[in-house]
Amino acid sequence: MKQEWIEDFLALIEFGTFSRAAIERNVTQPAFSRRVRLLEEWLGVTLIDRSVQPVQFTPVAQRYVPEFRALLHDLTQLRMRMREEGNGSVRLVVTTQHSLTITHLPALLKLVSTELEDKVEFTVRSENRDECVAQFMRGQADLLLCLEEGHDPLLTLMPKAQRFQLGIEKIIPVSAPDTLILSTVRGEHQQQERLRVLSFPLSSYMGRIMSPLMTQVMRTYSVEIVHESVFLAGVKEMVKAGLGMAWLPSSLVSMDLRSGELIDLSAQFPVLDMCFSLYAHSQGAQATVIQEVYDLLQEAWRST
């Protein structure tokens, strides 16, 4: 089997016709059709129902599209890692939360690239926090950068991993300057202030850690959740658009606070302190290089 056969099949899935897929793959349509048939012969199954028009995929082909994508990804990563190792460099996988990819990770990667030059390359996987932890625990990532509660570090789940606390991240309440986040709700016997909040799903990590704080806020205000998302950078943009207030990492909103696009409401509402920490695997084929990177980051961070 050739990798190009998998690429051809996925192109056909994406573009829907042999002619369009052949153009995108930069081959003639007969050559493209022949390569798809070669893949079918190698698999021993029919992927395309050629008795009907337009193109239709067999049920087995449709079921295994995710596996084809994963296989292509793994083959590409394997080839890249082997080539880099053959050239004297090593590729490490870093998994980190979306917000930390924007705020803290770039400085860490720049430091490593400056100190180790071409010795180490990185693949960054930016996910929600739960998926980052799962990838690291499955051995699909060499380094993990994540938020965690100070009283409940992940080290209890991963005793063989190394952990270094890089600092404290404050989750602060913010809003746009002219946003009316409070409105008065008058009932027959009472009046209550309603608070417009952009929040996070309770099933997400941010939703879970924010739950006690929100319970505290709800004792004073009638909270109206106007939007929920796990994508913190997207929540920030909606806050800037005036939809309401939100609790966001201080590093994520620091520039917006300085520019005046957002205002800090910490004087009126509670603040949550979180740790952000670096985890590293201490075993495996890349253990020596991982340890070198981990030690470098630890020493540099302590000296700042």
Show the 3-state SS of 263-292. Answer: EECCCCCCCEEEEEEEEECCCCCCHHHHHH
Question: Quick one: which of 231, 237, 228, 271 has its CA closest to 256?
Answer: 237
Residue 193's pLDDT is what?
A: 67
Q: Which residue has 């404290």 as its token pair?
A: 168
Distance from C-alpha of 18 to C-alpha of 29, rounded to nearest angstrom = 7
The radius of gyration computed from the CA coordinates of the chain, to the nearest angstrom, equals: 25
pLDDT at 211: 92
pLDDT tens digits, residue range 28-45? 999 999 999 999 999 999
pLDDT at 198: 94
CA-closest candidate to residue 279, choices 174, 115, 153:
153
Q: Tens digits of per-residue pLDDT, 245-289? A: 999 999 999 999 999 999 999 998 999 999 899 999 877 667 888
What is the pLDDT at residue 3? 87
- Give the C-alpha separation, 282 to 168, whole Å: 24
Cβ atoms of 142 and 111 within 8 Å: the answer is: no
Q: What is the pLDDT of residue 186?
A: 39
pLDDT for 178 equals 78
Report the pLDDT value the prediction gives residue 188, as an integer from 0 to 100. 40
Whether cis (ω within 30° of 0) applies to the bond prior to 270 is no
Which of helix, strand or coil describes residue 175?
strand
Ranges in the chain, pLDDT < 50 = 184-191
Backbone φ and ψ for 58, nearest 5 degrees, come out as -70, 160
d(CA 257, CA 204) in angstroms, rounded, equals 26
Dihedral over Cα of 47, 50, 51, 56: its sign: positive
